[in-house]
Structure 1
Amino acid sequence: MAGNQKAKAKAEQAKGKAKEAVGRAVGNERMEAEGRMKGAEGDARQAKEKAKDTFKH
């Protein structure tokens, strides 16, 4: 299960970076901000999984 959550975190980070880049390229500030937010969600999920791994061992 933890591997699945880690994969979701990486996917969210990638989607966020892509959306942010597209928003920047077309000059859409809202899309760029949504991309940053999605990336931050992925970062938070990844941090949570790392913390769980730390306490698991």
Structure 2
Amino acid sequence: MAGGQKAKGKMEEATGKTKEAVGRTVGNERMMAEGQAKKSKGAARQAKEKTKDVFKH
């Protein structure tokens, strides 16, 4: 299951980066902020899963 959560985190992070870039391109600050939030959420999910892996071994 951890692999699925890591993948979900990477997908959230990638989606967030894309949304942030589009928001910046079109000048939409709300979209930029939403992208940054999603990117941070994905990074946090990945960090949590990496921490779990460390304690498993």
User: Fold-level match, TM-score > 0.5?
Assistant: yes
Q: Percent identity?
A: 72
5+ residue gaps, structure 2, are none
Q: CA RMSD in A?
A: 0.3
Number of equivalent positions: 57
Counterpart-to-counterpart distance in 2, 1:54 and 1:10: 18
Give the corresponding residue for 1:16: 16
Q: Which residue pairs with 1:41 in the alignment?
A: 41
Which stretches of structure 1, 4 residues or more, deviate above 2 A after TM superposition?
none
TM-score (norm 1): 0.98
Q: Which residue of 2 aligns with 1:6?
A: 6
1:3 deviates by: 0.7
The separation in 2 between residues aligned to 1:48 and 1:2, in whole angstroms, is 10
Match of 1:19, SS state, is helix
Structure 1: gaps spanning 5 or more residues:
none
2:9 and 2:20 map into 1 onto residues whose CA distance is 16
